[in-house]
Amino acid sequence: MKRVARNRRLNPAEAAKYDAIREKVEHEKPEINARIRQRMADKRKAEASETGSQTLGQRIRAAREACGASQVVVAEAAGISQGYLSQLEQDEREPALSIAARLAQALGISLDELASGAA
């Protein structure tokens, strides 16, 4: 689908309407993103439950607890925020490969073990 561009300026009423819509979208964006993350987490957990395996977040949490380390300590060692680690453990986010590698190193396990649960 081709985007239609108009070569005219908005009048003040149109600009005000546009700004109001944009402000509403920006205001609602965090809530929308949180709902999307929660749906994705629920989907990952359901898929793992069907296959009888753990989610990546569950494996991260299990490895962290096996080390006896707090989220703060592991997050600092991996160079990420504690909040982001919490989101990973709750399956709300999926880490980039580089972050997963740093997490595995911080947890003292291989990337394969972190990704699949196999030692």
Is residue 34 in some structural domain?
A: yes
Domain range for 87: 12-116
List per-residue pLDDT tens for the chain, 119 residues long. 566 666 778 888 988 999 999 999 999 999 998 899 889 888 888 988 898 889 999 999 999 999 999 999 999 999 999 999 999 999 989 999 999 999 999 999 999 999 887 65
In a domain, 6, yes or no: no
8 A C-beta contact, residue 91 and residue 57: yes
Residue 2 lies in a domain: no
In a domain, 79, yes or no: yes
pTM of full prediction above 0.85: no
**Inside any domain, residue 76:** yes
Give the Å distances, CA to CA, from 43 to 36, 76, 84, 113. Answer: 11, 29, 19, 22
Domain membership of residue 3 (yes or no) is: no
Query: Any idea what the CATH number is for the domain that residue 69 is in?
Result: 1.10.260.40
What gap in Å lies between CA 7 and CA 32, rounded to an integer? 32
Domain for residue 1, yes or no?
A: no
